[in-house]
Amino acid sequence: MATDIRHQPENGYYSEPTQPSPTENLSRRSLMRLPRTLSPLETLGFGMSSHIAWVTLAPAMHAALGPNAIFVWLPTVLMGVMLNLQVKRLGEKWPEMSGGTPNYTTGLLSNYPFLGRYAAIAYFAGWAVYPSVNAIVLTALIQANLEPLGIACPETVLRIGFTLIPYILAFSGSRALAILHSFFIIPAVGFLLVFSIQGMGWLAFSPDSPGLFPSSWPTLTFIDWAKWSFFAVYGPCACETASSFVADSRRPGESLRVLSLTAWLIPPVYLGSSWILMRLATSPGLGDDSFKNLLAAASPFWGPSASLIVTLLLASSSLLSSATCVSNSPRVLYQLALDGHVSPVFAFISRRGVLEPALVFSLLLGLIGLLWGDVTRIVVVSCASYLIMMMALYLGLWLQRGSPEVRWPWWAACFFVFDGVVMVVGGLNWSWQDVTIGLLFPVTILAVDAAIRRISFAPFHRAWWIRHYRARRKSQIEDFVAFQVVVLILLVCSAVGIGWVFRSQLDTNSSVGSNLLAVLILTVTFVGVAVACWTSLPQVVSMDEAREAAEQLFVIAIDAIVVLDEKGMIRQANPASERLFELSTGQLIGRHLNKLLPGLAFGPDRWPSRSEQTLNLPAEDSRILEVAISDRFSQDASLFNQELQEYVVILRDITDRKQAQESLQKANEELEIKVENRTSELTHTVQQLQNEIEERQRIEANLRAMQNQIVVQEKLASLGNLTAGIAHEIRNPLNFVNNFSELSAELTEELFEELGNQAERLAPETKEYIAELLTDLKENLKKINQHGQRADKIVGNMLLHSRGQSGQWEATDINSLLAEYINLAYHGMRAKEAAFNITIETDYDNDIGEVEVVPQDIGRVFLNIISNACYATYKKKQEMGEEFSSLLEVRTRNLGDAIEIRIRDNGSGIKPEVLDKIFNPFFTTKPPAEGTGLGLSISQDVIVQQHRGELKVETEVGKYTEFIITLPKK
């Protein structure tokens, strides 16, 4: 089993080197989590997508039902309001859960995992195929505007393009898509609110108004009501999509309050706008055309502007709805993967929060819908899938009706029945085949997921995506400025070129031209942002990551670092500078460094690159600093633009080192004087020195004896603890033997008495034979009891003279212990070297069972060896650069009565002259300030002396080093 490890702080990703099981819950692992980058306003934008969806859904319903459409909207609007408030309560319970409502449903149905998984996948399927509907609708809108101009519409190209645009944005990062989405959705919903409020006012007060209420109500059949309720549920209830982005939000609490706002916006948008449509879009020739119906309803009070605004609303509805689908559906799949419901590959996420495998899978479903091409049938399938999830949600709320997060359980039960009736009556009257497809679609996706789990195709596994992501991060554009300028030139030229091509046609028909211009503006905006994000955003993010890393190093540096301007004035200072100068950052900024260090010249350009300076502090003696200065910019900048010249100065306190050097020099001088004074007396003190040497040897011999005695005492103490444990365990069965031997002796006496009572009934030879047997039995039991009592005394003495505390030796799962210390060593290395990365491959033999060891000591051995391996690969990567990939291999093997552990790195190996010294105490190959030693002397004592094992090393210079540990199982 090979597990790939990579960790980045906060936004990074990391997998622990443990053996996954089929039921592994990935959310409990140290996997990548969604970066919290979205603002509450951007979350609000996603939650409002269903409000703007009214413009495409309502006209067809009103064309079919007339005024009775309001009776379809009333219950669905009530459901939408209550659903949003209920989902807000669920989000407060699970603020870290991505995906929103469908994943909350899996939590509510935790006792019915298949049902919860099926419902969540149904929700995912309904959203994933919907971008194809929007692409088809938007293409039809453009085609309708191009026909009066005599321009042929590239229908296939537009459909594919409108399907891919939101995915291109999503692949570039969630934040870019969220900002673009919010920029258009908020004005669009604002227009709808104005449409609703202004229209109701016009109906109530205008002299040209046909009246606020209709004069008659046509008959509404139950089947018609159910058929259109089948579609209507999707609109108001889909405002809950804001909950899908709470896990991305920088302020989850405020993002959850967005659900309350979207809930209370549902009635004015859906009921108010529908009422206006009902009263004003009454011409018989309108049909179910969304543009004509909305234009007829808006023209009385918006006048000539109505055509442009309606076009904007329709185009915005399609584009923004697709953007929400593309953002929402991958998050559902991602959270299902975290919770172990689908393949772990869908839990992969880049540092920018891009759910690449989930996006690819969603795109494939969207392309399937695009190939199908029948909008009505796709919508029926999507609504059927959505109703499945809603029914499962209401069922889960009813089953958890005693929980505090459930607000209205009885309403949930009523809504469950409502959705069930709408599904059966309404759905089947639309198309029983499409409803069946909607029911079976999630099962098909689950079957595909099961195949993904089992097929060894590389893109079906997270490791392939991690390697692909790393390779992509390395392939950055060298001259990014030139590339960015070229992209901007192409975008500007393309926009101008499109305007020039359509200029003459737009002038000939002003109304159609303005409508087409609105669609072009939206489309070009989305395409332009998509191209910019696809090309430039990865480079910008890489530069931002580099800047963050540099700032992090600046903040955590042990040495003081200050940035100076061309006059030597401090512009930036890190925390270490505050400690060194005993001044706050505010007090340091604006000061000249040569005022703090008078030994420096006035101008930094005249300072030596490295020097020693004296710092005088009021609270203590002066300190000696090592000062190193370097140009932040090139020499060309200093020659041609002096105002931009800056300097980076590193200051290190070397007072202790200088004092140590002075003390050492003084001691050497004194020693030389003593040697000179004693030279003449040397011949008279030879014997005295020999005596001292002999005394020292005797003392050293005594010390070694004492050390051996201490070791023996420790061994005896361990043996005492072991003896106490064994004696305690022996005493229990021994007491059993003693007690039952006495009881058996008593039973033998009773048998003797009974034999005497029955003497006349037995033959003499039989009686004599039985008496002999009983006598032998009695003697044997007596001996058993005597020896048992003797053994009991021995055990008592063992307990009396043994130590009372034990418990250090434990039966331990070596695989788990290795995994724990791999993680500990990795994070320890990351704490010292933020740029450290390594791939760890593990191959654990599950048959080794548990081994009796001292876990703390064995863990220390693992930590020493793994830390040394990480350090070796890190140093080699510094030497070789990015072409070198750090690798650590850890394997265990069952040898029967022992186990073998191999720890191998691909560092520079151990040189022959060093190999014989690595197990010596205090020996190290690390430079000063990077460690105190390899820890291999202690490791050898633990393995060989304490655990009676074996520690070997194999190495090849420049290629690898491998430590082999052999431990007996007992």
State the average pLDDT over residues 887-904: 92
State the average pLDDT over residues 255-262: 86
More confident residue, 531 or 769: 769
More confident residue, 637 or 255: 255
| pLDDT value, residue 417 | 93
Spatial separation of the C-alpha atoms in residues 491 and 493, rounded to whole Å? 6
User: Judging by DSSP bridges, how do beta strands 960-968 and 950-956 pair with one another?
Assistant: antiparallel
Spatial separation of the C-alpha atoms in residues 196 and 55, rounded to whole Å? 12
Q: What residue has token string 């570039």?
A: 172
Residue type, 412: A
966 has a pLDDT exceeding 60: yes
137 has a pLDDT exceeding 70: yes
Instruction: List all residues 6 or more positions away from 241 whose beta carbon is below 8 Å from its beta carbon.
Output: 46, 47, 49, 50, 100, 101, 324, 328
| pLDDT value, residue 414 | 93
Eight-state DSSP code of residue 924:
-
Q: What residue has token string 């070796």?
A: 872
| pLDDT value, residue 495 | 55
| pLDDT tens by residue, 525-576 | 666 666 666 566 566 666 666 666 667 777 777 888 888 887 788 888 888 8
Q: What residue has token string 């609303």?
A: 313
| pLDDT value, residue 806 | 38
State the average pLDDT over residues 447-463: 85
More confident residue, 780 or 504: 780
Three-state SS sequence of 645-674: CCEEEEEEECHHHHHHHHHHHHHHHHHHHH
Spatial separation of the C-alpha atoms in residues 128 and 321, rounded to whole Å? 11
| pLDDT value, residue 612 | 81
**What phi-psi label fits residue 303: left (phi over 0), alpha (psi between -120 and 50 degrees) or beta?**
left
Ordered alpha helix ranges (H), 267-289: 273-280
Residue pair 326/162 in contact by the 8 Å Cβ criterion: no
| pLDDT value, residue 22 | 37
Cα angle for residues 213, 219, 220 (degrees, 5° grid): 95
942 has a pLDDT exceeding 50: yes
Q: Which of 337-351, 540-554, 570-584, 894-908 has the highest mean pLDDT?
A: 894-908
Strands, E assignment, 645-799: 647-653
Q: How far is CA 629 from the centre of its chain?
A: 40
- Average confidence score pLDDT of the chain: 77
What is the full DSSP assignment across 798-852?
HHHHS-S-----EEEEHHHHHHHHHHHHHHHHHHH-TT---EEEEE--GGG-EEE
What is the full DSSP assignment across 879-897?
HH-TT---EEEEEEEE-SS
State the average pLDDT over residues 571-597: 82
| pLDDT value, residue 534 | 58
Cα angle for residues 204, 206, 208 (degrees, 5° grid): 120
User: Judging by DSSP bridges, how do beta strands 623-631 and 810-813 pair with one another?
Assistant: unpaired
pLDDT confidence bin for 152, thresholds 50/70/90:
low
Spatial separation of the C-alpha atoms in residues 145 and 138, rounded to whole Å? 11
Least confident residue range of 75-89, 117-131, 642-656, 874-888? 642-656
Spatial separation of the C-alpha atoms in residues 208 and 719, rounded to whole Å? 105
Token duo for residue 134: 């929007």
Spatial CA neighbour of 105 closest among 404, 369, 455, 339: 339
Residue type, 842: T
Spatial CA neighbour of 8 closest among 33, 45, 27, 28: 33
Residue type, 180: L
Spatial separation of the C-alpha atoms in residues 568 and 574, rounded to whole Å? 16
Helix (H) or strand (E) run with residue 487 in it:
helix 480-508
| pLDDT value, residue 295 | 83
| pLDDT value, residue 510 | 46
Spatial separation of the C-alpha atoms in residues 187 and 241, rounded to whole Å? 19
Cα angle for residues 515, 516, 520 (degrees, 5° grid): 125
Least confident residue range of 111-115, 189-193, 425-429, 567-571? 567-571
State the average pLDDT over residues 149-171: 76
| pLDDT tens by residue, 819-869 | 888 877 787 777 678 778 889 999 998 888 888 888 878 888 888 899 889
51 has a pLDDT exceeding 60: yes
Residues forming beta bridges with residue 648, ordered by sequence position: 563, 630
pLDDT confidence bin for 890, thresholds 50/70/90:
very high
User: Judging by DSSP bridges, how do beta strands 623-631 and 610-615 pair with one another?
Assistant: antiparallel
